[in-house]
Amino acid sequence: MSNPSALDENRPAGSSSETPNESAETFGDILSEYEQSHSHKPEGGAQGLEGTVIQVTSEAVMVDIGFKTEGIVPRAAFESAGETVKVGDKIAVSVKGRDPEGYYELSRLRVERPKDWTALEKAFADKAPILGVVTGAVKGGVTVDVGVRAFMPASRSGAKDAGEMEKLIGQEIRCRIIKLDVADEDVVVDRRAIAEEEERALKQRRYAEIKEGETVTGTVRSLTDFGAFVDIGGVDALVHVADVSWGRINRASDVLAVGQQVEARVLRVDAAKHRISLGLKQLLPHPWEHAGEKYKTGDRVGGTVTRVTEFGAFVELEKAIEGLIHVSELSWSKKIKKASDVVKPGDAVEVVILGVNQAERRIALGLKQALGDPWAEVPQRFPVGSVVEAPVTSLTKFGAFVQLAEGVEGMIHVGDISAERRINHPQDALKLGQLVKAQVLEADTEKRRLRLGMKQLVPTTIDEYIEAHQEGSVVTGRIAEVSSGRARVELGEGIQAACPLGAETVADETTAGPSRADLSSLTSMLEARWKGGPGGGGTRREPVRAGQIRSFRVVKLDRAAKKIDVELA
């Protein structure tokens, strides 16, 4: 074991053996020159300075060291050692340099430089931090004066590159002995381990200090697809992309930039996992707070389609305010099966507010309402009795649908398709896309129904017969059938009428012969006058039987139903 004098002999050339007071006096002259030249790099570390604490913040302790500018000691330097500090305390410090703002960077002198090998061995065994001064650069690292000449590998210096490591020369550092060989007087020290411990202590303190719900200020350090990492004083916190803005954004970079100063609210703190979640939008009022006052049912508003689903489309009216257009409200047409048939994301649309539920944060929108209700003009455009021409859009068992206008369809019942033959299914006479003519039979705007008929447009003999006759006129016809006190009378080819009969006018079937007659020419028979009728020679009224040609009086002509009622004349 060497004695203190041996330590002096082993010091590198140029190293000082002055007492702390002598060293401080020497540094005073250097510091004076430094302040006069406004240099930001001190030529060496000043030891033995006593300062007075004038301010304590969450990050640093500001110390008055008797110079024109105050010095700053990281608060972690006290907390990692379990010490507390308050305004007015006297502490021993040394100057390491100046920060970009011009304040002196100070270090504590509570750790003294070992004075002999015994002290070095004790510090090595206890893994205790010691003070040293970086004296020069060598291959693979730097030399450090810790009472003897020690070596610090570049990888253990804590410097990021060669330029930063070079700036350590002349500075006082805190380090730990990681190798000690007394025989070979070989000492290796580590500064990085101390810095990492202080950083961990700072982070642990920050995790313990930060509380959920409080507001913090930080700097955006990096951006990712899922959010932004913000430095809030030695620890990183995550702002998830969903908590950046009340409005919908795809990436945090749409709103934030690296280096940007932000104010955020602490949402969650997990000290065990070292995780802190922040929110920027939580410091802003939610747009839904006033949505009920701003958006009223019936209002016409503009927006942008953000999402399209099978059941509808979402429209952003403003940041964080979205409404839904249900697929049934996209078009007056019944053919819309999915929203993507009408709109797509990014489309600017004009919609009508159908309903607002502020409690559930829902707004129902209508696109077709903004286009106008086509049924409002149906009575004027398609009055009953008018003739329309339109394509067949769909066929059902009971009828065919045709599109008269956008959002307006009419239905032709299977019974109104043809007057010439019986139609069992519309597809027996019509096909999709076929252009057909029909007459408007009924219009119900409240139920949005239009009943159409095709057969009503086909000219028939009965139409002409009704047009040529009047109620009360006497006509000639053939009794085609007698049944249950009524007779079916043929007035012409395809023209039939109903005639009620009294009991006394019906012939006895046992003597009258067959109830049906097969006459070869109805027309020729109708040309002959009934012998018992006007101009005939007889006055006897024979009982009614099928096959008779008789005179009848027209009782009723129903043009719409195409029915004729007669009575015996």
The SS3 of residue 117 is: helix
Question: What pLDDT, on a 0 to 100 scale, did the predictor assign at position 28?
Answer: 40
Question: What average pLDDT does the segment 392-399 reach?
Answer: 92
Helix (H, G, I), strand (E, B) or coil at 424: coil
Residue 36 confidence (pLDDT) above 60: no
Is the pLDDT reported for residue 31 higher than 50? Answer: no
Q: Which of 248-252, 294-298, 363-367, 530-534 has the lowest mean pLDDT?
A: 530-534
Q: What is the pLDDT of residues 434-491, one digit of tens each?
A: 999 999 999 888 888 899 999 888 666 788 788 888 999 998 888 999 988 899 998 8
* Structural domains in the chain, sorted by start: 1-206 (2.40.50.140), 210-283 (2.40.50.140), 287-369 (2.40.50.140), 374-457 (2.40.50.140), 461-568 (2.40.50.140)
Rounded CA separation 260/269 (Å): 23
C-beta of residue 49 within 8 angstroms of C-beta of residue 55: no
User: What pLDDT does 194 receive?
Assistant: 87
Is the sign of the CA dihedral 26, 27, 32, 37 positive or negative?
A: positive
Give pLDDT tens digits for 211-239. Answer: 899 999 999 999 998 899 999 877 889 99
Strands (E), 182-320: 186-190, 215-223, 227-231, 236-240, 261-270, 275-279, 300-308, 312-318
Per the CB < 8 A criterion, the answer to whether 240 and 248 are in contact is: no
C-alpha–C-alpha distance, residues 499 and 476, integer Å: 13
* Cα dihedral 196, 198, 204, 210 sign: negative
Give residue 24's pLDDT. 38
pLDDT in tens, 339-380: 888 899 999 999 999 999 988 889 999 998 888 888 888 888
Q: Check whether 565 has a pLDDT greater than 60.
A: yes
Q: Which whole-number Å values give the CA distances from 469 to 463, 475, 525, 569, in the listed order?
A: 10, 9, 20, 16
Report the run of H or E that residue 32 belongs to, with start and end.
helix 20-37
Q: What confidence score (pLDDT) does residue 564 get? A: 93
Q: Which of 99, 26, 34 is nearest to 62 (CA)?
A: 99
Q: Across the chain, what does the average pLDDT equal?
A: 80
pLDDT higher than threshold 50 for residue 55: yes
User: pLDDT value at position 237?
Assistant: 92
Dist CA 460 CA 387 (whole Å) = 17
Question: Contact 499/556 with Cβ under 8 angstroms?
Answer: no
Give the H/E segment covering residue 487.
Answer: strand 486-492
- pLDDT tens digits along 445-461: 888 889 999 988 866 67
Sign of the Cα pseudo-torsion (94, 98, 104, 106, in order) = negative
Cα-Cα-Cα-Cα dihedral of 75, 257, 260, 268, to 10°?
A: -50
Average pLDDT over every residue of 105-109: 75
Model confidence, pTM: 0.42
Tokens representing 285? 């009022």
Q: What is the pLDDT of residue 455?
A: 85
What would the pLDDT profile of 401-412 be if each residue is shown by its tens digit? Answer: 998 887 888 999
Does residue 35 sit in helix, strand or coil?
A: helix
Tokens 């330097």 locate to 77
Q: Read off the pLDDT band of 115 (50, 70, 90).
A: low
Give me the mean pLDDT over the 380-384 stretch.
Answer: 90
Q: Which amino acid is at 414?
A: V
Most confident listed range (14-28, 149-163, 281-295, 516-530): 149-163
pLDDT of residue 34: 35
Given a cut of 90, whether residue 205 has pLDDT beyond it is no
> Tokens for 263?
């104010």
pLDDT at 191 > cutoff 50 = yes
Q: Tell me, what's the pLDDT at 540? A: 53
The whole-number pLDDT of residue 402 equals: 93
pLDDT at 464: 78
For the cut 90, the answer to whether the pLDDT of residue 516 exceeds it is no
Q: What angle do CA 351, 356, 362 make, to 5 degrees?
A: 90
pLDDT of res. 423: 83
Indicate the pLDDT class of residue 527, thresholds 50, 70 and 90. very low
pLDDT at 529: 41
Summarize pLDDT for 2-28 with one digit per residue, the tens.
333 333 333 333 333 333 333 333 434
Nearest to 403 by CA among 327, 394, 441: 394
Q: Is the pLDDT score of 117 beyond 70?
A: yes
